[in-house]
Structure 1
Amino acid sequence: MTTAEAGACPRCGKTTVSTREAMPWCAACEWNLDGYDSARQAPEFGWAWIDRRSHRMAGRLIRHQYAALVDRPLESSGLGPAGVATAAASLLLVVGVLALAVVGVWLLFAYPFPNIAVVFGVAMIGLAVALRPRFGRVDPDLEVLSKDQAPELHALVEEVAAAVGAPVPHVIGVDGSLNAYATQVGLRRRRVLALGLPLWGALDGPQRVALLGHELGHFVNGDVRRTVVTQPALTMLGNAADMFRPVDSVRGGGLVEMIGDALGRAFSWVVSRLLYGGHLVLVVTALRDSQRAEYLADEMAARAAGTDGAKRLLDALLQSESLALVVRQASRGGQGPAAWQTGVARSLAAAADTLPLLRQLSIREQSSLFASHPPQGLRHRMLAARAEHEPRVTVTDARIERIDTELARHYQRVSHAVAWSG
């Protein structure tokens, strides 16, 4: 990592800065922080002028949302305007699929058999079945932990859930990802908490409590990605676009077959693009509410672990590449979570002087119309701007040791997998 002085700010005259070879900006007034850095940001649409404009639009939306929330109480009030629009779109889509199925069944019996209407009826029923809403299922790669297998972990989850006013998950599991998530699956919306062991094992006690507070907070913060009434809008049009994606099916046919195939693929391409465009509009709309829910989940993390613990969790996530490197190198040396935690703490301490710049840089590089989370820098800034919370849940080193002992077999498996990854 390098930090360099890059010149004078044309707005306030202060020295501009740059880190990680990013486009310079002013740390004092944040001039040029909303600029599009094509050298460091992956294209989203593939056309530079569209990517630049979408990045600018995302930056405006994200900053406007931050300004609207920073001085207001962060309490769950159900779905916001974007969530209501998403739910309405879901209702219309479900009604449309039901209508398709009903008309298909009617065509099967409306005319004497055989007749051409039967073909259309079967096709419409098949399309309705293919487009039906999906409500997810537990990831088969998730190692589910029963209360008997991990009583200390279950007890901590229950304690944090009570502290933030969230329901206890039906399923708690671990996997090998550098991530954690909470979701609801199935029509009955069973609550699932998944902890990626490389992340969980690398965090200290307050950071782990903050992580649990954040993830469990998603069960009560009105996140549109986790409610049954919004799932159809987030999945149905995308599934339909995949169904209509053109495939080259004719091989060695005559001229008529080739022309027919070309026309069919052109029609499929147009329909697929229209459906995908509708899917993108619904997703972009829904993610405005999703980002609002992330701020509330951070607030719940601060209530559980204290504001300091929640902010240190965000800094660890901001340094995810360094965290992954620490875990990989320690795993190669046969070391477990105790060494991971020491390495991550040392890495964060070494980066203390550059963390403020990295938080600012995240505001530029994590701004996207398709981002489910606000930039890490704004999330950290939101916590710093609000009333300080004292931790409601504290864990001793001995308790962390007991939890890690329960997970020892899983840590060993994950360590072998990550030791030579990347």
Structure 2
Amino acid sequence: MITTDSSAPCARCAAATVTVHGALPWCPQCEWNLGRFEPARRVPEFGVRVVDRWTHQVAYRLARRQFADLSQRTLDRPMLSAARLVTVTASLLLLAAVVLLAAFGVWLVLYDFPRVTILFGIIALALAFTLRPRLGRLDPTIDVLSRQTAPTLFAVVDQVAAATGAPAPHIIAVDQSVSAYTTSVGIRRRRVLCLGLPLWAVLPPPQRIALLGHELGHFVNGDVRRGLLTQPAFTMLGTTADLIRPVNTATTGVGEILAALVQAIAARVLYLLHLLLVWTGQRDAQRAEYLADELAATAAGSTAVADLMDTLLATDVIDMVIRREARAGRGLNDWHTAVAQARTTSTAQAPLLRQLSIRDEVSLFASHPPTGLRTRMLTARPHREPAVTLTTSQTERIDAELTNQYQRLQRNLGLE
């Protein structure tokens, strides 16, 4: 429920403060107190209240500063930001270290073969293999579709790809999550688009185009998280820290204790460096999300993308409603009706939920900007009309093509 408190006016502009879902009050006009840290509403990141409060405040300031900076620029192409430059440089250095480690391992194996150095060479090669960038593989739980069985869906995806200037995915799949994602897998870097059926099922046609536009935008928005050469910055130091962290076993000798201490210190230092690189990389990842939203607007129009943002704020409600309907034996049409009713009752809360998301969703670990700021970025830019329209008949044909997948989802949710 929305609560307005006139007895506790804003300390900055004297307007009445508001709250929703029991959050600490803030001013809806000037957003005084919006950046407050609420440990009861957040999952602890470090488990130390003082540290979590500080990182939240830093993340809040960074998110607002990035929004202010990007809202004054064009978002028509990836930018060479400081965060991107640091991430790419660190990744190249770490990748070079892996190559040198592998070369050193080969030299140890072949040096004056056979000798005892072969053992150290094998260890070096094994470590280099463990730290290598991953090519990725298809999630075995997804259901891969074909152009023959889902021709309308593939045709619409092709239209959206053309409108956003993105390459079409090689693989389109669905799963049972309330989300969607794109990735590239294998040595040939085959592009994959995966749509979460519970989310896709209840989206109105314009928002379906918006979702496709955003996800396909990741193929051209320069997201550093998806580059094979930039992967080491997000994984290598963390993997190394896990490898050298001492095992919790009883140590008796002085040498064992000292060795465990050195391992623990080294692992902690590497882990902190890993966090710094992740935090830096996520700044550029959030920039890429804003660009993906802009590309989505070129396909679906600004209004549809903004509406999609409001829907994403309610994914927990969507999940709950669909599960309830599935357990009652109700199908796709009933899902649409139930979710539409739930969304109607929350319409009045939407502006405040967007504001509250800025408090709740900021994090140094977040790969996405707060949903409320993403909506503001869209509305702050020139309005775009849709370039791709999903007709009623196309929507019905797509849902008919996914009948088997919907029925499987209904059965699985009904058994939970």
Length-normalised TM-score, structure 1: 0.94
Distance (whole Å) between structure 2 residues aligned to residue 2 and residue 293 of structure 1: 33
Q: Determine what percentage of the aligned residue pairs are the same residue.
A: 51
Whether the 8 Å CA contact 2:105–2:122 is kept in 1: the answer is: yes
Q: How does 1:322-337 map to 2 (within 5 A)?
A: 322-337=317-332
Distance (whole Å) between structure 2 residues aligned to residue 402 and residue 265 of structure 1: 62
Q: How does 1:87-126 map to 2 (within 5 A)?
A: 87-111=88-112, 113-115=114-116, 117-126=117-126
Distance (whole Å) between structure 1 residues aligned to residue 258 and residue 333 of structure 2: 62
Distance (whole Å) between structure 2 residues aligned to residue 30 and residue 356 of structure 1: 12
Distance (whole Å) between structure 2 residues aligned to residue 303 and residue 284 of structure 1: 30
How far apart are residue 263 of structure 1 and its match? 4.1
Q: 1:320 to 1:124 in 2, by over 3 A?
A: same
Secondary structure (helix, strand or coil) at the match of 1:380 reads helix
Whether the 8 Å CA contact 2:4–2:16 is kept in 1: the answer is: no
How far apart are residue 352 of structure 1 and its match? 1.4
2:168 maps to 168
1:156 maps to 156
Structure 1 residue 368 and structure 2 residue 363: aligned?
A: yes
Distance (whole Å) between structure 2 residues aligned to residue 70 and residue 112 of structure 1: 62
Structure 1 residue 50 and structure 2 residue 51: aligned?
A: yes
Secondary structure (helix, strand or coil) at the match of 1:182 reads strand
Distance (whole Å) between structure 2 residues aligned to residue 363 and residue 73 of structure 1: 23
1:410 maps to 405
Secondary structure (helix, strand or coil) at the match of 2:395 reads helix
Distance (whole Å) between structure 1 residues aligned to residue 111 and residue 47 of structure 2: 49
1:125-160 CA distance string (max 9 Å, x none): 221111111121111111111111211111111011
Q: Pick from 372, 381, 384: which aligns with 2:379? A: 384
How far apart are residue 231 of structure 1 and its match? 1.2
In structure 2, list runs of 5 or more residues that go unmatched: none
Distance (whole Å) between structure 2 residues aligned to residue 84 and residue 136 of structure 1: 24
Give the paired residue count.
Answer: 415
1:173-215 CA distance string (max 9 Å, x none): 0001111001112333211100010010011100101000000
1:127 maps to 127
Q: Which amino acid aligns with 1:88?
A: T
2:315 maps to 320
Secondary structure (helix, strand or coil) at the match of 1:194 reads strand
Q: 1:84 to 1:187 in 2, by over 3 A?
A: farther
Secondary structure (helix, strand or coil) at the match of 2:406 reads helix
- Larger mean CA deviation between 203-212 and 224-233 belongs to 224-233
How far apart are residue 94 of structure 1 and its match? 1.1
Q: 1:267 to 1:416 in 2, by over 3 A?
A: farther
Q: 1:420 to 1:315 in 2, by over 3 A?
A: farther
Secondary structure (helix, strand or coil) at the match of 1:354 reads helix
1:8 maps to 9
Distance (whole Å) between structure 1 residues aligned to residue 5 and residue 243 of structure 2: 52
2:65 maps to 64
1:27-61 CA distance string (max 9 Å, x none): 11100111111221221111111111111111111
Whether the 8 Å CA contact 1:36–1:364 is kept in 2: the answer is: yes
Structure 1 residue 30 and structure 2 residue 31: aligned?
A: yes
1:299 maps to 294
Secondary structure (helix, strand or coil) at the match of 1:44 reads coil
2:75 maps to 74
Distance (whole Å) between structure 2 residues aligned to residue 271 and residue 150 of structure 1: 52
Whether the 8 Å CA contact 1:82–1:288 is kept in 2: the answer is: yes
How far apart are residue 345 of structure 1 and its match? 2.3
Whether the 8 Å CA contact 2:75–2:294 is kept in 1: the answer is: yes
